[in-house]
């Protein structure tokens, strides 16, 4: 869908929701659909809107606790989601909510659901070649940007994090969606390095990718081998394993990168005025291993919910999709709903 169409759709939805909310309130508008008085695909659309437009109970459950009513809204503009509520949907987060908890919080006994949140387009990074040149190693990388199967021209901010140092560059992907970038790293460094790409297609339409690679070692460290990262309430929670110790934490976004300030064993994540996708990295050492870990904030892409495999149970499965905003960036939120199939 062209960007103009996306913006027009969001504007139209916002106007409808604001009008309904002012007159009736979100809960009153969708009550017949939640109670099962109305069936069919319209019911699932209204349930999805309810989840995205309500803050839930308690309203601030994103930063801790268990919701008794499910809602992902931040409390600002329509379809503006809370970064921490979305992050806690990710099963990899240390304070993630399992599907049973989410289902009970929604409180609709005859409907199961599955929620996914992801960027509006895909950015893929690959290592094309590496060559030792004197006391340095030169790395050539390629980037591919695709939206719904079609190549996408965009601008990309590139970063490499290795040890306690970071390197940056930038460049476009062309009309065929492809781009290249080159980094030169000194051979005095060694360990797991990470190439981070933050891409902006237009306005708030952004995506990212992270590519770990080995610099002066045989292979990069396995994800989660030495540390697990969980961002919440603009703090990076860190859990180290074994004898691992942290070296450097940093945050990367489109056009900006900062080292993070430690607060005990955790780190403070800055609130960036530009908004959009953020990637947080942590490097460290464990014996002779120089490792690196990363996490996105909000922690997407994510999928959480019930089993929607038709082979598992015979039922009607409906899919609805929305464009949502999280801290200044636009994302695709997909929902699958299932209830017992009806037969004539």
Tokens of 114: 């599955």
Residue 333 has pLDDT above 70, yes or no: yes
Beta-strand runs (E) in the chain = 112-119, 122-133, 136-147, 150-151, 154-162, 165-173, 178-186, 191-202, 205-215, 227-232, 235-240, 245-253, 256-259, 261-263, 266-268, 278-286, 289-297, 302-305, 315-326, 329-340
d(CA 236, CA 217): 28
Q: List Cβ neighbours of 254 (8 Å cut-off, separation of 6 or more).
A: 155, 157, 198, 199, 200, 206, 274, 276, 277
Q: pLDDT digit string (tens) for 275-305?
A: 889 999 999 999 888 999 999 999 999 999 9
pLDDT digits (tens, 9 = 90+) for 37-78: 556 788 899 999 999 999 999 999 999 999 999 999 999 899
Give the confidence band of 308 by pLDDT, cuts at 50, 70, 90: confident
Domain range list for the chain: 3-117+302-340, 122-297
Q: Looking at domain 122-297, which CATH architecture does it have?
A: Sandwich (2.60)
Residue 30 reports pLDDT greater than 70: no
User: Model pTM?
Assistant: 0.87
Nearest to 310 by CA among 302, 319, 301: 319
Q: Which one has a higher pLDDT value, 48 or 28?
A: 48
Q: What percent of the chain has pLDDT over 90?
A: 76
pLDDT above 70 for 5? no
Average pLDDT for 194-198: 98
């Amino acid at each position: 869908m062209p960007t103009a169409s996306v913006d027009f759709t969001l504007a139209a939805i916002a106007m409808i929701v604001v009008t309904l909310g002012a007159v009736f309130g979100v809960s009153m508008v969708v009550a017949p659909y939640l109670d099962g008085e109305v069936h069919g695909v319209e019911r699932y659309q209204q349930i999805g809107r309810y989840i995205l437009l309500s803050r839930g109970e308690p309203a601030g459950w994103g930063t801790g606790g268990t919701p008794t009513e499910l809602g992902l809204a931040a409390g600002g503009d329509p379809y503006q989601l809370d970064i921490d509520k979305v992050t806690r949907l990710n099963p990899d987060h240390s304070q993630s909510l399992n599907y049973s908890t989410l289902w009970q919080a929604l409180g609709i006994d005859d409907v199961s659901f599955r929620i996914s949140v992801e960027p509006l387009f895909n950015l893929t990074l690959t290592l094309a070649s590496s060559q030792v040149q004197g006391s340095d190693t030169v790395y050539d990388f390629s980037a591919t940007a695709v939206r719904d199967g079609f190549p996408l021209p965009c601008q990309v901010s590139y970063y490499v994090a290795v040890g306690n140092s970071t390197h940056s560059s930038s460049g476009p992907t062309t009309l065929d969606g492809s781009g290249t970038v080159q980094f030169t790293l000194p051979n005095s460094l060694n360990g797991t390095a990470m190439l981070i790409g933050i891409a902006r297609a237009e306005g708030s339409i952004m995506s990212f990718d992270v590519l770990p690679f080995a610099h002066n070692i045989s292979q990069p460290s396995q994800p989660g081998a030495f540390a697990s990262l969980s961002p919440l309430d603009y703090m990076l929670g860190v859990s180290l394993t074994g004898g691992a110790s942290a070296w450097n934490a940093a945050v990367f976004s489109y056009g900006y990168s900062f080292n993070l300030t430690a607060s005990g064993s955790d780190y403070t994540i800055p609130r960036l005025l530009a908004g959009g996708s953020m990637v947080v990295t942590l490097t460290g050492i464990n014996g002779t291993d120089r490792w690196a870990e990363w996490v996105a904030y909000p922690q997407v892409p994510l999928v959480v919910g019930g089993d929607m495999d038709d082979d598992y149970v015979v039922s009607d499965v409906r899919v609805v999709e929305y464009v949502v905003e999280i801290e200044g960036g636009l994302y695709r939120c997909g929902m699958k709903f299932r209830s017992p199939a009806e037969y004539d």
